[in-house]
Chain A
Amino acid sequence: MTVNEKSNSTARWQYLDRIRKTKGPFNDDDYDTSEEVLSMHGTQKILVIGAGGLGCEILKDLAMSGFRDIHVIDMDTIDVSNLNRQFLFRKADVGKYKAEVAAKFVERRVKGVQITAHNCKIQDFEEDFYMQFQFVICGLDSIEARRWINATLVNMVDDENPDSLKPLIDGGTEGFKGQTRVIFPTITPCIECQLDLYAPRAAVPLCTLATIPRQPEHCIEWAHIMAWEQEKPFPTLDKDDPEHISWLYKKALARAEEFKIPGVTYALTQGVVKNIIPAIASTNAIIAASCCNEALKIATSAAPYMGMNETYMQYQGDESIYTNTFKYAKKEDCAVCGNLPKPLQVDPKWTLQELLDSFATNASAQLKKPSIRTEDKTLYMQFPPALEEQTRPNLEKKLKEDLGLEEKQEIAVTDPAFPALSFRFFLKFS
C-alpha cells in the first residue's frame, strides 16, 4: 500500500475506526485498540450462504463494515420476481447466477473488497472448505439447507482446536417480520434445537381435495396433486415454468367453477404451488444489517454481541414495531447438539408406512425420506434398492402387533438430506 492509499484508507474508514479505537462504556476493561488488532478484522475470511434477498444486503453490509475477504455460495439464477428487493441485480441479469452477479457488483462498487462466488449447493463442499472461514452468515429461505450447514458446523467442532468453532449467524424474513440468530456451535442452542419454530403447515386431507373442496386453495392443490399426476401434460412439473403454472391455474379454475368456489387466480395458484413467501426490500435490509452488526461486533469486540446471553432477535413490523431479543434454550434431546432421544407420540395401531409419513409433518423431525431401525433390527431402508425391496413388506405391518415395537423403545431415523445425522426417538404410545 502506498502512503497515499494508506491515508485515503484512513480517511475512508474514519467512522468505523473511531468506534474501534475508542473504548465504549460497554466494552471490557481489556478492550484492545492497538493497530495490530485493528488490522486483523479486514483479513478475516467470511462465508455468506445465499445471494438472494438477504444475501445481497449481507454482501453490501460486510463490504461496508471493512471485511475484505468474503465468499458467497448460491446455486440459484436470477428471476424477474427477485428485482423488487435483490438490489444487486438488474433486468439484464435475469437467468445469470446470483452469487456471481452479486459478487461482481459489490467488488465494482467497493474498492479493496474481494468476493469469491460459488455457483453451487452448500452440500457440494466438504468440511475442509468450511474450516477456512472465521464465521458463516446465512440468508436462506430453505430450512433444509439451514439444518445441513448447522449440522456440519456442529460436527466440525473439535475441542482440541478452538479455530474449529465457527459462529453461525442466521437471518430469515417473511413479509414485515424476521429474525436474527447467533449460534456458537455446541455452546449455544443450534438451529435444530429451534426446529419446532418452523412447524410445517398441516396438509389439507386428500379426501377434501378429491370430493369436497371449499376453498380456492383446495382446487389448486387438487390440480397440483391429482390432476397433474393423472394427465401429465408435461413430463415433470417445473414450478418456474409459466406454461406449467397456467395449466394448473386453468384446471383449478375449472374445478372451482364446477363447485362454485370464488377466488382462484393466477397469483394464488403460483403462491400455493410454489409456497411463495412475501418478501420486501426493507425487511431484508433490517435483518441482514442486524446479522452483519452482530458479525462486526463478534469480529472486533467493539460492543457486546448476541450469542452468549440473548441468542435470538425477533422483529415484527406489521403492527407498530416490536422486537423481542431473548435466550433460546438448548435442547438436550436435539438430534444435532444434544445426546438424548426425543419422545415420539405414535399410535401402536399405525402401520410402519403411517409412521414414516408422520415424520414429514412432525415439527421436531421434518424428514421427507426417512429410513428407520431399532437397536437390533432394520425396519425400513430407502437405499440401496436391494435393501429397500427386502424391507418393503414391513411398511404394511402394524407397529405393535406385527413389528413388536414397545412403549419407550428407542428407534433411529436417518434421511439422505442430512447424511451425518441419526435422529433418535423413544416411542410413546397414545
Chain B
Amino acid sequence: MTEIVTSQTPPILHGPSEKEKKYDRQLRLWAASGQAALESANILLVNSGAGTVGVETLKNLVLPGIGKFTIVDDAIVSETDLGVNFFLDESCLGKLRSQCCAELLQELNPDAQGDWYPKEKASVNLGQILDSMPMYTLIMYTLPIRPEDLAAIKTYGRKHQTPLISIHSAGFYSYFQINLPGAFPIVDTHPEVEKTVDLRLLHPWPELVKFSQEMTKDIDSASDHDHGHLPYVVILLHYLEKWKEGNGGEYPTEYKAKMAFRKMVSEMARTNNPEGGEENFQEAVSAVNRNVKKPQLEQSLEEVFDHKLSNEVEMSSSFWMIARAMKKFYQKNGCLPLPGGLPDMKAQSSVYVKLQSIYKAKARKDALEVLETVRSSPGGKDVDPAEVDMFCKNASFVKLVNATAEGRDFKQILQQEKQNDELAEAIGTPLSLLPIYLALSATSHKPLASADEIKADIVGIWPDVADDMRVMQSSEEVARAGGGELHNISALTGGMVAQEAIKIITKQYIPIDNTCIFDGISSRCQVLRL
C-alpha cells in the first residue's frame, strides 16, 4: 500500500514549512489531502437579509485557507449592519455590503482570494451573474431571500450539480439545509480508532496461523519472560484453536461461550510472579468481546453495495468502480479486504513489528486483488491505486450521504415528530425542533411577518398542527426577531455550516443529512432529513 511505501523511505530531516506551521492544528484533522481540497475550492455566498450568518460562515472558511470566495449582495451598509456584522466598520457606511465584507474577510488570510458582486451600487440580476461566473464547489445562500434569486440559485445548482446550503438565522433560532446533487459517498470518514480494529481472529490466513503456531508451540514450557511477552493476538489464536478442539470445532461467538473463553484464557496466565499476573493475558482477556467475532457487513456499506447507479457522473466515478470491485471481493471471499492496522499490545519490539508486517502484507494483497478487478473493468485503467488502498483500509466505514433521491413525505415526518413529542413529554426528553423550522420557513420571503401570519401560513399547508402549542410558540419567537439576527446565533450557526462545508469539500468526516435546526433558547440542535 502506498502509505507503507512512503513510511519506509527515510523522512527528510527538515522541520515543517511556513504553511505547515500556520495550518498545523487543522492538518492534524484533515491532512494535506483535505487542505489541498480546501485550497482549490471556490465558494459563492449569496447574501441577503440581515447579512451576518453567511459572512460568519465565510470567516471560518477563509481562516483555514479556502481557495476563493465570492459574495453576491446588493445591500448598502447601514448603521444596523454595524450592530450585528463584525466584518464591517464605521468607514463602510453607505458602501456596498458585498465589497466591504469581502475585503475585511480577505484581510484575515492572504492565502484566500475574495471577490464580490455587484461592482457598483445597483440591484443584482442573480440569474445573469451566475451564468457569467466560473464553476463553484459549493453555493451558500442566506434567507430571507427574493423568490427570483432562490429560483436562479436552484436552477444553477441543478444544471451544474453544485451542492447548495441554505441558511436562515433569526433571533434565537436558526436552521440550515444541505442540498447535495445525488448520492454523496465518503471514504475517509475518520471513525474512532478503537472501532477500526479488525484482527480476523476467526478468519486467520496461512501466514498468520503459521506465525502464531510457531510462537506458541512450546507455550507451557516457555520462560516467564517469553510467556509474558506473547502478543495477545497470538495468545487468542492459540486458545481459540484449543477451544475449538473441545467444542466440536465451533468458535466461541455467542455471549455465554465468549465468557467461558475469557475465563479459559485468564486461567492460562501465570500468577507465580511478583505482579501476580501477566499484562499480555489481561490484554487478551479484555480483547475477547470486541475481537472474537464473525465478519459482518456494516449497514452503511450494504447501502453502498445495493446502490443503483443513476447517472453518467456516477457511472464514470472511480468511487463506484471500486465499490463494485469491493462487492465482488466480498462475494468471493466472504469478508472485506483486511484494513491492515494492528493496535499496540505488549510484545517484544521485533515480534510486534513482524506481526504488524504480516497484517500489512495481507492488507496489501487484498488491496491488490481489488485493484486488479477495478483495472479490468471498463474505464478502470486510470483509477488511482491510492484511492483503492484508502477504500480498502476504510471499507467498513464508507458512508453514503443523501443515498436516495426519493422525495421525502413531509407529512409523515411531521406526524412522527409529534408522536415522539408525546413520548418525550412523558419522560422529560427534549422536544422536536421541527416547529422552529416551520416558523422560519414561513418567513423565507417575508421577514416581517407577524406571529399570526406565520402560524396561518404553517396551518395553511399543514392543517394538523393548528392547535400545536410548539408551533404557536415558535411563530411568536420568530416574529419577535422581525427578521433580525442575533450575532451569537449567527456566529454559532456560521460555525456549524463551515464545519459541514469543510466536510463536503474535503470529502472527510460525515456531513449532516440534510437539515440542522438550532434552538438558542434550549441550547441544542436536531438533525432531520427533510
Contact = CB atoms under 8 A, between A and B. Distances in A.
A75 interface: no
Contacts of B488: 61, 64-65, 289-290, 292-293, 296
A286 B259 CA distance: 44
B441 interface: no
A22 interface: yes
B25 A85 contact: yes
A87 B63 contact: yes
B310 to A, nearest CB: 24
B523 A85 contact: no
A214 B353 contact: yes
Contact of A84 (B4, B26, B473, B487): B26
Contacts of A253: 10-11, 13
Contacts of A176: 29, 499, 509
Given A25-B476, A57-B491, A276-B28, A15 B496 contact: no
Interface string A209-248: 0001111000000000000000000000000001001100
B457 interface: no
B83 A15 contact: yes
Contacts of A297: 521
Contacts of B494: 282, 285
A131 interface: no
A11 B300 CA distance: 52
A13 interface: yes
Nearest to B104: A109
A253 B21 CA distance: 20
B430 A325 contact: yes
Given A15-B80, A303-B521, A320 B344 contact: no
Nearest to B476: A25
A25 B56 CA distance: 28
Interface in A66-122: 66, 80-81, 83-85, 87, 108-111
A317 B499 contact: yes
Contacts of B344: 214-215
Contacts of A303: 172, 520-521
Interface string B58-97: 0110011100000000000011101110100110000000
Given A81-B25, A245-B15, A289 B491 contact: yes
Interface stretch (A260-268, A357-365, A369-377): A260-268
Nearest to A12: B83
B438 to A, nearest CB: 15
A24 to B, nearest CB: 5
B29 A15 contact: no
B482 interface: yes
A285 B60 contact: yes
Contact of A212 (B349, B482, B509, B510): B349
A323 B524 CA distance: 6
Contact of A321 (B349, B481, B527): B527
A195 interface: no
A306 interface: yes
Contacts of A317: 496, 499, 509
Contacts of A85: 25-26, 63-64
A429 interface: no
Contact of B496 (A259, A263, A281, A282): A282
A212 to B, nearest CB: 5
A14 interface: yes
B190 to A, nearest CB: 6
B492 A290 contact: yes
Contact of B86 (A19, A84, A110): A110
B301 interface: no
A319 interface: yes
A24 B60 contact: no
A170 interface: no
Given A261-B349, A262-B8, A321 B496 contact: yes
B486 A16 contact: yes
Contacts of B189: 319
A320 B510 contact: yes
B472 A25 contact: yes
A242 B16 CA distance: 9
Contact of A271 (B28, B60, B477): B28
Nearest to B80: A14
B20 interface: yes
Nearest to B484: A15
B305 interface: no
Interface in B223-263: 229
Interface in A253-306: 253, 257, 259-267, 270-271, 276-290, 292-294, 296-297, 303-304, 306
B481 A15 contact: yes
A341 interface: no
A16 to B, nearest CB: 7
Contacts of B59: 87, 281, 285
A313 interface: yes
A42 interface: no
B302 to A, nearest CB: 18
A247 to B, nearest CB: 11
B477 A24 contact: yes
Contacts of B329: none
B510 A319 contact: yes
B331 interface: no
Contact of A180 (B25, B502, B523): B523
Contacts of A65: 486-488
Given A245-B15, A267-B24, A321 B516 contact: yes
B283 interface: no
Contacts of B521: 26, 297, 303-304
Nearest to A295: B488
Contact of A286 (B86, B492, B524): B492
Given A212-B347, A277-B25, 19 more contacts: A19-B172, A24-B476, A24-B480, A57-B491, A65-B486, A83-B109, A110-B86, A278-B28, A280-B502, A281-B498, A286-B495, A288-B491, A296-B488, A304-B521, A310-B522, A317-B496, A318-B509, A322-B527, A325-B522
9 contacts: A12-B82, A176-B509, A212-B349, A253-B10, A260-B350, A263-B7, A267-B24, A278-B29, A287-B495
- Closest 7 pairs (CB-CB, A-B): A15-B484, A285-B495, A286-B495, A289-B492, A64-B487, A289-B491, A282-B498
Interface of A: 8, 11-16, 18-19, 22, 24-26, 57, 60-61, 63-66, 80-81, 83-85, 87, 108-111, 175-176, 180, 208, 212-215, 242, 245-246, 249-250, 253, 257, 259-267, 270-271, 276-290, 292-294, 296-297, 303-304, 306, 310, 313, 317-325
